[in-house]
Amino acid sequence: SGLLGMSGISSDMRTLEESEAPEARAAIDVFVYRIGRELGSLAAALGGLDAIVFTAGIGENSRSLRARVCRDAAWLGVELDAAANERNGPRISTAGSRVSAWAIPTNEELMIARHTQALLGALLLDDLQAFEHRAGRGRRHRGAEHERTRLVLDEVHDLLGAGDEAADRREG
């Protein structure tokens, strides 16, 4: 299954789009078909669609795939703005399109880092609070373990920035 399984060539859409092999074309055709099938299923379940959003590597970078998906979704009310699609959007549908279409850049690594920060921060904060509870909240020396936990928590926060749940819990 997947692009590599279907094509026998690659899982990378760029490679398949550059290939003239019939297997590459077939893999892309099936990929586009499956997207259309899922859009139809979602439209039926939701009673219509407001927008289609293309993200991540293929959605952000494959103009031809976006064009094919939007063309096939014309029955839903999608009208592709070819020039906007060539510019990679962000909006790639016409102003009059009943269903808007968007190409939105994503930073998957940043999202993973933020989720990791929240998890680590929460775990470290829980450890710190448990240690503080065991040691008492007085002015006693809290020891090296407490200081290491506090430093790691601060480093995670400094590395990835504010706005995470752990920072909110630490400050609250």
Each residue's pLDDT expressed in tens, for the chain with a length of 172 residues: 689 999 999 999 999 999 999 999 999 999 999 999 999 999 999 999 999 999 988 888 899 999 999 999 999 999 999 999 999 989 999 999 999 999 998 888 887 887 887 777 777 766 666 655 665 554 444 555 555 555 655 665 665 555 444 444 444 4
Distance CA 76, CA 97 (A): 10
Q: What is the pTM of this model?
A: 0.65
| Angle between helix 22-46 and helix 63-72 axes, rounded to 10 deg | 50
Which has the closest alpha carbon to 84: 102, 71, 70?
Answer: 102
* Residues 56/57/60/63 CA torsion (nearest 10 deg): -140
- Rounded to an integer, what distance in angstroms lies between the CA atom of residue 58 and that of residue 66? 9
Strand partners, 143: none
Q: Please tell me the predicted confidence (pLDDT) of residue 81.
A: 97
The whole-number pLDDT of residue 118 equals 77
Give the per-residue pLDDT at 130: 65
Q: For 101, phi and psi rounded to 5 degrees?
A: -130, 140
102 three-state secondary structure: strand
